[in-house]
Structure 1
């Protein structure tokens, strides 16, 4: 996971890869989050929000290994599946660096941003009452 980066690889400071939302939050696509996957630079996505958890790696009760295995990814389902409390989610707020773009959000829709499915999901087509 601790891969050396080519200087041509964009980072979070590359304004072409991130934008600012009306609310002042930085909009960070998963392609940028995926670049932050090392012990010295560890980002994750939880419920459509992007967090830089580098400072808390050594303090995580479950150990830093599990965080590093999932660094640079959306860990929402793992976060929920392991039974994290609301207090744990609230503690993450101090580490938030941005949000996912609307087209990549799967949990939260920001006000004024309506997402309409173009076709029914496969799960809906399989369901017959």
Structure 2
């Protein structure tokens, strides 16, 4: 290990139970879905230390975790929760819309014609 109190990001993600395997952790890091202190992690060998803030994008969720400790093993969930402090924003409920979103409006009659309207057009054009 390069520095005392530092750990590879792929190992840390695996030990903290953010992902199921170390190879999956390496894939999400290389894909650019992990940031260390607002900088994209470029390689699975990038190092994290206590105090670093990780922003992780997983399955449509955004996790913001502050690294509290380096892990030594992938233990039970209670042990994994000691490795980070969760600072993630509260997710919006599924049925609730974003307040700034404007609903899409469409003028009546625009869009795809109904079957009835298509038949009327065919009769008008003489296509039987």
TM-score normalised over the length of structure 2: 0.26
Higher strand share goes to which structure? 2
Q: Which has the higher contact order (CA 8 A, sep 6+)?
A: 1
Q: Answer with 1 or 2: which has the greater Rg.
A: 2
TM-score normalised over the length of structure 1: 0.26
